[in-house]
Amino acid sequence: MSNQSQPLIRMENIVKEFPGVRALGGMTFDVHKGEIHCLVGENGAGKSTLMKILSGAYTPTSGTIYVEGQPYQTLDPELSQQLGIEIVYQENDLVPNMNAVENVFVGKELAKPLGIIDKKGMLRRVRESMREFDISIDPQQKIEDMSVSDQQFVKILKALMNQSKLLILDEPTSMFNVEDAGRVLNLVRTISARGIGIIYISHFLEEVVQIADRITVIRDGEVVRTYDNSKRDVPLSALTLDMVGRPVDTFYQRERFAPGEEKVLEVRKLKLEKHSPPISFSLKRGEILGMFGMVGSGRTEIVRALSGADRFYAGEILLNGKKLHISSPRDAIDAGIAHITEDRQRLGLNLGSSVLENGLMVKLQYMKPSPLYDFKTYAKLVSPVMEGLNVKTPSLMQEVVNLSGGNQQKVVLGKWLISDAQVFVFDEPTRGIDVNAKAEFYRHMTELAKAGKSIIMVSSEMPELISMSDRVLVVREGAVYCELSGGQINEQNIIKLALGVISHD
Amino acid sequence: MTKGRRILKDQRLLLLIIIVVLSATVGIINPRFVRLNNIMAILQQISVLGVLTMAMSMLLISGGIDLSIGNMMTLSGVVVATLLMRGANLLVAVLAGMGVSTLCGLLNGVIIAKSRTMPLIITLGTGQMFNGISLLIAGGSFLQFENKLNFLRTVKLFDFLPLMVIVMLAIVVLMYVLLNKTRFGRRIVAIGGNERNAYLSGIKVDLYKILTYGISGAIVSVAGLIFAARLNAITANAGAGYELDALVAAVIGGVTFDGGRGTVLGAFLGCLLTGIISNALDILGVDAYVKIVITGAIIVGAVVLSNIEKLRRRT
C-alpha cells in the first residue's frame, strides 16, 4: 500500500459476536485523513457496536484494526485515546455543574505550581480553539445552563483539544433545530479541513448527503454498500433501499383478521409540551397499531403520556367515547390502559420478587383488602394466566430475576392480563429476547387482539412492525407524521417517511 | 429564569438573608444576642461542627459520604489525650492524633473505592470500629490532660478572636481554595458530578476517592483537638452523633447527596445557621425540650425549601 492512499483507520473483516447474537458479521470500513465518512443504517444495524470497537470498549471476536498502517487486534480506551481516536457520544457526557472550560480540561487541567489551576491559561486555550474551529459559545457558562446544541459544541471542543486524528460523531444533530444543525455541519466541515478524519453517524439522510465524502450503508451488522459522494449527489432513495430490503420470508406470519369498527381509544390534539406539535390518532377494537420512529423521534414519549408516566400539556384522551383524566399511572390503569415498558427489568418487574407477586402487582390494588397475603387464593388467580402464556418457571414462587428474558416479558404481560386491561401499550415488546421466544410472544399478542383487546405497539424492529401491525403510525420530530395501512406497510415506505426523505401524499 | 428565582436557587444568598433577618429579629427582642461576646460564643460553639462540616462537604461534593467522622474525631482526640497524659510533647501528640485519623480516613477510602460498596454502610461499620478502639484505649473513663490544650481557647487575636475560631475559619478558607482553585479539587468535583465522564477523561477515580477520604480524616483530627480543648477532657463516646450534625449543616448549606453540587461557603453558612438558631433559642429562654423540636423542624424546613426546583415527578 502506498503511503498516499494509506487510510487513517482501516477496519478489516471485523466480527463481533455476543452470546446468541452476531452483531457485526465481517465488516470492512476505512476513513482517510480529512475525510467525512458517514455511516447510515436502521436502529440496531451495528453502528454503535462498530463505534465501541474503535473506542476500545468492545473487543472484536475477529478481524484487524489498522491505525495509520499499524495493525491492532483490539484497542482499549486508553490506547484508543493515545492513537488520537475521539468519540462524541449522543448521551450527555459532561459534568453539569462545571463550566465549558473546566469540562474541556477535566482530567487534563493546566496548573501552576502547588497544583493551583490556571484558569486564565485554560480559558485562553479554549478561546484559541474556538477561534480555530469557528465555534461560538460562552466558555464560562455552566453546562446545565447551556442549550443542548451548545453542550454538543463543548463535547466536540473537548474531543478536539486532545490532538485527535479521528473524530467519531454519533447523531450530533438529533436534538437540534435546523439552524443549530447547520452550525454543527459547518463545524464538521471546518474540522475535516484541518486534516482530521471524521466518522459521522446520522439518521438525517439529507444532512448526510450534504456533508459526506463517502457514505456507507450498514444493515444487520454487514456493509451493504459504500457510495462515493464527492459530488454530493447520492440519491436518498438509493440509501433507503439499501438500509432495508430484507427478504420477505424472514418475517413472522401472524393470523390476520379484520379489527372491529368501533374506536376504543381516541387521542385528540395531544400536546406533550407547550410548544410540541398536536398528536391525534385512534385505535379500534382488536387492532394492532404499530408506531415507528427513529431514536429520539418522540414515540416513547407519546405512549408514556398515554399511560400517565409523564404528564402532558394539553389535549384529550377518550376511551370508548368517554374522556379520561390521566395524570398518573394509576389513572391510566384505572381506565384499563396497560403499559408494557421498553425496560422490563427496571420499570416492568420487581426482579427480586416471585412470579406470583409480580403477576399480582397491579391486580392487588383492586382486590378486597385481606389482612394476610393469601397465597392460595392468589395462586389460583395467577397460575392459569401464566400457564396460558406458557411461562417456563419451576414454580410461581420463583424469583423473576432467574427467568429468561422471554419469560420475564411474559410475566409482565401476565400481570396486565390479570388486571383486566383493555388497551395494551407495548414499547419494544421483544427487545433482547431470542427468535423463538419472539414468535411465541407475537402469537400471544395476536390472540390478545383476537379476543377483542386493542394494542399499540411501539417498535424499532422493522420486521416486527410489518408482520404484526394492522396500521402503522410513523412518528417524526415529536409528531405523528403519517399513517400507513394494508399494502402501504413495507420497509421502504416506513423508513423513508421516518427519515423524512419523501413527503406523504 | 427570573432574578427572584435565581436568588432563591443560590442557597448562599438565601442563607445569608435568613441569618441576617433572624439575627436582627432576635437582636431586637434581646439585644444581648448581637453583642460581640455572644457572637464569639456562637462561633466557639460551632467551631467543632464547622470543621467537621468542611470534611463532610468535601466528601459529599466528591460523591461520597462518611458517617464515621464523629467516632473518628473522638478516636484522634483520645489518642492526643492519652499521649498528653503520659507526658508526651504537644506537637508529637497532635501529629499522632492527626496520623491516626488520616489512616482511618484512608482505610475508609480504600474500602469504598476498591470494593465499590456504598460508603454510607461501610462508614457506619468503620465508625463502630473506631468507637471500639477508643473504648479499648480509654475504657469508660474521663481523659483529662491538665489544660494542655487550653491555648486554643485562651489565645485570642486582637483580644477577642479565640484561636479555635481562627483555626475553623482557616479550614474553611483552605477548603474553599482546595475545591475551587486546585487541580485536585476540581477533579474530585468532576468525579462527584459525573463519575463515568471523569473516568473516561482519564482521571484515576479510585486514587482520588482514597485521597479525599484521607484528607477528610486529617481535617477531622483538627476538629478532635478543638473538641478536646473545649471540654478540657474527652471520653470514648463523646463525639458520636456529630457526623449527622455535620451532614445536616452541609445539606442546609446546599450540598446535595448526589455529588458534584454545593459550595464551601454555603456549607459554612448552613453550619452557622444551626449555631445561631441554637444560641437564639437559649437566649430567648425557650424550654430545652421545645428547643430540640424546633431545631428538628427547622432542619426539615430548610431541606424542603432547597428542593423546591425538583418537585415535578417523572419516572
pLDDT digits (tens, 9 = 90+) for A364-405: 888 887 777 778 888 898 999 999 988 888 888 888 888 888
Query: Mean per-residue pLDDT for B258-266?
Result: 84
Q: At a CB cut-off of 8 Å and minimum separation 6, what does B244 contact?
A: B67, B70
Is the confidence at residue B310, as pLDDT, over 70? no
Q: How far is CA B309 from CA A147, A191, B137, B295, in A?
A: 19, 39, 48, 24
- Percent of chain A at pLDDT exceeding 90: 30
Q: Work out the average pLDDT over B12-25.
A: 85
Phi, psi of A472, deg, nearest 5: -130, 130
CB–CB contact A109 B181 (8 Å): no
The model's pLDDT over A69-84, given as tens digits with 9 standing for 90+, comes to 899 998 888 888 889 9
Q: Is B45 on the interface with A (CB under 8 A)?
A: no
Give the pLDDT confidence of A318-354 residue by residue, as tens digits.
999 999 998 888 999 999 999 998 888 888 888 888 8
Prediction pTM value: 0.72
Q: Is the domain A9-248 a CATH 3.40.50.300 member?
A: yes
CA distances A161 to A81, A128, A129, A425, B227, Å, are 12, 10, 8, 46, 49
> Per-residue pLDDT for A481 more than 90?
no
| Phi, then psi, of A200 in degrees rounded to 5 | -120, 115
Which residue(s) pair with A473 in the sheet?
A: A291, A483
DSSP-derived 3-state class of residue A360: helix
Residue B200 at interface with chain A, using a CB cutoff of 8 Å = yes
Q: Are A21 and A14 in contact (CB under 8 A)?
A: no
Q: What is the largest CA-CA distance in chain A?
A: 81
pLDDT grade, residue B311 (50/70/90)?
Answer: low
The pLDDT of residue B185 is above 80: yes
Residue with cell 475508609: B108
Whether B184 contacts chain A with CB within 8 A = yes
The residue of chain B nearest to residue A109, with distances taken between CA atoms, is: B183
Distance CA A377, CA A389 (A): 20
Q: Which residue has the higher pLDDT, B125 or A376?
A: B125
- How does pLDDT run across B221-254, given as a tens digit for each residue? 999 999 988 888 888 888 888 998 899 899 888 8
User: Which candidate from A98, A116, A329 shows the least CB-CB separation from B182?
Assistant: A116
Chain B residues lying within 8 Å of A108, measured CB to CB: 201-202
Tell me the three cell numbers of residue A457.
Answer: 405497539
> How many CB pairs below 8 Å do chains A and B form together?
66
Please report the pLDDT score of residue A461 as a whole number. 81
Residue B315 is predicted with a pLDDT of 41
Q: What is the mean pLDDT of residues B187-211?
A: 87
Per-residue confidence (pLDDT) for residue A91, from 0 to 100: 67
For the segment A20-55, what is each residue's pLDDT rounded down to a tens digit? Answer: 677 888 889 899 999 999 998 876 778 888 888 988
Q: Which of residues 345-364 of A touch B (CB under 8 A)?
A: 347
Q: Write the pLDDT tens digit of every residue in A272-298.
A: 888 889 999 999 999 999 999 877 788
Burial of B294 (0-12, 13-18, 19+ CB in 10 A): middle
Task: Check residues A394 and A501 and name the one with the higher pLDDT.
Answer: A394
Contact B190/A at CB under 8 A: yes
Check whether A12 has a pLDDT greater than 80: yes
Q: Which residues from chain A sit within 8 angstroms of residue B314, using beta carbons?
A: 309-310
pLDDT digits (tens, 9 = 90+) for A397-426: 888 888 888 889 999 999 999 888 899 999
- Residue A40 DSSP one-character state: E
Place of cell 482530521: A196
pLDDT averaged over chain A? Answer: 86
Q: Do A107 and B198 touch (CB under 8 A)?
A: yes
Whether A9-248 shares its CATH topology with A262-336+422-432+460-505 is answered yes
- Assign domain A262-336+422-432+460-505 to its CATH architecture: 3-Layer(aba) Sandwich (3.40)
Give the tens place of pLDDT for each residue, B83-96. 988 888 889 999 99
Comparing CA positions, the residue from A436, A492, A502, A440 lying closest to residue A246 is A492
Question: Is residue B261 within 8 Å of residue B255, measured between CB atoms?
Answer: yes
Residue of B nearest to A305 (CA): B314
Ordered by start, the domain boundaries in chain A are 9-248, 262-336+422-432+460-505, 343-421
Return the minimum-mean-pLDDT range out of A25-29, A91-95, B191-195.
Answer: A91-95
> Is A107 an 8 Å CB contact of chain B?
yes
pLDDT (tens digit, 9 = 90+) per residue, B266-284? 899 999 998 998 888 888 8
Q: Is A425 helix (H, G, I), strand (E, B) or coil?
A: strand
CB contact under 8 A, B183 and A116: yes
What is the mean pLDDT of the segment spanning A7-31? 86
- Work out the pLDDT band at B98, boundaries 50, 70, 90: very high
Residue B16 near residue B10 (C-beta atoms within 8 A): no
Residue that wins the pLDDT comparison between A177 and B14: B14
Give the residue from A249, A263, A291, A253 showing the smallest Cα distance to A429.
A291
Q: What is the pairing mode between strands A36-40 and A322-324? A: unpaired
CA-based nearest distance A97→chain B, Å: 7
- Do the Cβ atoms of A107 and B201 come within 8 Å? yes
Distances (CA, A) of A158 to A67, A101, A181: 22, 9, 19
Average pLDDT over residues B104-118: 92
Strand partners, A483: A473
The residue in chain A having the minimum alpha-carbon distance to the alpha carbon of residue B196 is: A93
Residues comprising chain A, all counted:
505
Looking at A163-167, A175-179, A229-233, A308-312, which range is the least confident one? A175-179
CA distance B313 to chain A (A): 8
Quickly state the pLDDT bin for A505 (edges 50, 70, 90).
Answer: very low
ipTM, two decimals: 0.72
Contacts of B288 (CB under 8 A, 6+ apart): none
